[in-house]
Amino acid sequence: MKHTLPSAILASRSQTPVREGEICAVRVDFAFANDITAPPAIRAFREMGAQGVFDPGRCAILPDHFTPNKDMAAAQQAKEARDFAREQGLRYWEVGRVGVEHAFLPEQGLILPGDVVVGADSHTCTGGALGAFATGLGSTDLAAAWALGETWFLVPPTLRVTVEGRPSPWVGGKDVVLALLERLGVQGARYKALEFSGEAFAHLTLDDRFTVANMAVECGAKAGVFVPDAPILAYAEARKARPFHPIYPDEGASYEAVVEIDAGSLEPLVAAPPSPAAVRPAKTFADVTVDQVFIGSCTNGRLRDLELAAGLLKGRRVADSVRCVVIPASYEVFKEALRRGYIATFVEAGAVVSTPSCGPCLGGHLGILAAGERCLATSNRNFTGRMGHPESEVYLAGPLVAAATALTGRITDPREV
C-alpha cells in the first residue's frame, strides 16, 4: 500500500498495517505538556494508576503559558507541573532557560524528522515543519501517552499542499498560511492531514515553515507535515538529541486533493476577527487603527520574525498611540536577537520587550486588551476574547505588517513605510 507522508509516519510506528479511515495504535517518540495542560494530565495519570512515564527522556513539561508566574493560581499550576517533572525525572526547563514549547523543542533537537509527537496543546502541529507527525491532544490523552508510550489515531486522508513560485521579499510564511486558510477555511482540513512541499519554501527560511505548520490546526488539520529536504535534515542533524530516520511519501500515493498556492503572486495578508480564515490583503485594512501590536508567539516569535520586524523599526519610533509588545519565543532566539542588536532596536523604537512566554496570545498576561481595544498580532488566533475582553479585537499578520502597523498606528502594508 502506498502511503502519503503523514500515513507513512504513522505506519512506521504501528505494529499493524495502517489504512486511511481506520484506527491504528502508534508508538510515540515524544510527549509533552505545558503549565496549563500538565496539571489535569498529572491527575489523569494518577487516576489511571500509572506509576512512571514510559521513558522520562521522551516526556517533557514546559512552563511557558502563564510564566513567569502571573498570579497565585498560575504559580500553583506551575509548581504542580514542576514537582511532577522532578518526581518522574522527565525533561523540564526552568523559566529563564525555556521558551514557548513549539519554538523551544525543535531547537533542543527533541522533535525530529519521522517522529510521532504528541503534545497537550493544539499548536503541537508546529513540529510538522521538521517532517514529524506532530499533533495536539487533550490532557487525558497525553496522560495515557506518558503512561503507555503509545496512542491511537484514526488515519486521516491527506491534502497535498504545494507552494510554488518565488515569494516577494514582503511575503513570508504567515502570508502563505493565511492564503491557505483563505482557501480551505477553518474546517477545510478537519480530521485530515496536510502534506507541504514546493519550490517556494527553498526561498523562505526554516522559521517560515514553522509558521506554516503552526497554523495547520487553524484549518482543522490533525497535522501539517513538510516533506524532508536539505534544510530540514541539516537543522535536525545539527541539533538531534537522539538518532532519527526521515520518512518520505511513497511515489504514487493517493491524496484526497491537491491545493496549489502560487507564492509568487502573494502580497502581505491580514486575517480579520473573529476568524483566522477571514483573510484579505493588508492594504485593504488601511483605515483600521490599533492600540497594540504584538510580535511573538509560537507562530512568529522566532529569529527571522524579529529580524524582519527590527529591520523596519530600526531608527524609527513606534507611534505614540501604540503599545508594541515584542516577545522572543525562546531564550535561544532572545540571546541571538540581543547579540545582533534587534533587542536594542526594539527598545530604542519604544517597544516593550519581554522574557519568552506565550504572553498575551491566549489572553494570559503581558498585554491584555480592554473593551473596544484592537491589536494586530503575529500569533495564530483571533477568536472573540482571545486576547482579553470579549469586545476587543485581534487582527493576525506576519512580522512585517506588524512592525509597519506599530510605526503608523493603523494596519499598514509594509511596502508603504
Partner 1 sequence: MDQKKLRGRAWVFEDNVDTDLIYHNKYLAETDPKKMPQFAFEYYPGKEKFAKEVKPGDFVVAGRNFGCGSSREHAVYCLKEGGVPVVLAESFARIYYRNAINNGYPVLFVKGLSQGIKDGKIVDGDELEVDLATGTITNLTQKTSFHGDAVADLENEIMTAGGLIPYLKAQVAQ
Residues contributing to the site for partner 1 (CB under 8 A): 23, 36-37, 39-40, 43-44, 47-49, 65-66, 71, 73-74, 76-77, 120-122, 136-141, 144, 147-148, 152, 186-187, 190-191, 220, 222, 275, 362-364, 381, 383-386, 390
Q: Considering the complex, what minimum distance in angstroms separates the CB of residue 231 from partner 1?
A: 29
Q: How many residues does the chain have?
A: 417
Q: Considering the complex, what minimum distance in angstroms separates the CB of residue 101 from partner 1?
A: 12
Nearer to partner 1, 81 or 161 (CB): 81
Nearer to partner 1, 101 or 413 (CB): 101
Q: Considering the complex, what minimum distance in angstroms separates the CB of residue 401 from partner 1?
A: 23
Neighbours of 241 (CB within 10 A): 15
Longest dimension (CA), the chain: 61
Nearer to partner 1, 152 or 202 (CB): 152
Nearer to partner 1, 120 or 322 (CB): 120
Query: H/E element holding 91?
Result: strand 91-92
Locate all alpha helices (DSSP H) within 326-414, ordered by sequence.
Answer: 331-339, 342-349, 399-408
Q: How far apart are CA 53 and CA 55, in angstroms?
A: 6
Q: How far apart are CA 213 and CA 119, in angstroms?
A: 15
* Sequence letter at residue 31: A
Grid cell in block for residue 88: 518522574
Q: How far apart are CA 342 and CA 340, in angstroms?
A: 6
Are 208 and 201 in contact by the 8 Å Cβ rule? The answer is yes
Nearer to partner 1, 108 or 275 (CB): 275
Q: Considering the complex, what minimum distance in angstroms separates the CB of residue 36 from partner 1?
A: 5
Q: Considering the complex, what minimum distance in angstroms separates the CB of residue 381 from partner 1?
A: 6
Neighbours of 151 (CB within 10 A): 20
* Sequence letter at residue 389: H
Nearer to partner 1, 141 or 413 (CB): 141
Nearest to 297 by CA among 273, 324, 330: 330
Q: Considering the complex, what minimum distance in angstroms separates the CB of residue 306 from partner 1?
A: 25
Grid cell in block for residue 64: 511557558
Nearer to partner 1, 36 or 227 (CB): 36
Neighbours of 206 (CB within 10 A): 19
Burial of 63-99, coded b for 16+ CB within 10 Å and e otherwise, reads: bbbbbbbbeeebeebbebbbebbeebebbbbebeebb
Instruction: Let me know if 251 is exposed, middle or buried by CB neighbors in 10 A (0-12, 13-18, 19+).
Output: exposed
Q: Considering the complex, what minimum distance in angstroms separates the CB of residue 384 from partner 1?
A: 6
Q: Considering the complex, what minimum distance in angstroms separates the CB of residue 313 from partner 1?
A: 29
* Sequence letter at residue 368: I
Q: Considering the complex, what minimum distance in angstroms separates the CB of residue 94 from partner 1?
A: 20
Nearer to partner 1, 150 or 305 (CB): 150
Nearer to partner 1, 137 or 261 (CB): 137
Do strands 323-327 and 292-296 pair parallel, antiparallel, or not at all (unpaired)? Answer: parallel
Nearer to partner 1, 222 or 304 (CB): 222
Q: Considering the complex, what minimum distance in angstroms separates the CB of residue 73 from partner 1?
A: 3
Cell 522574557 belongs to which residue? 355
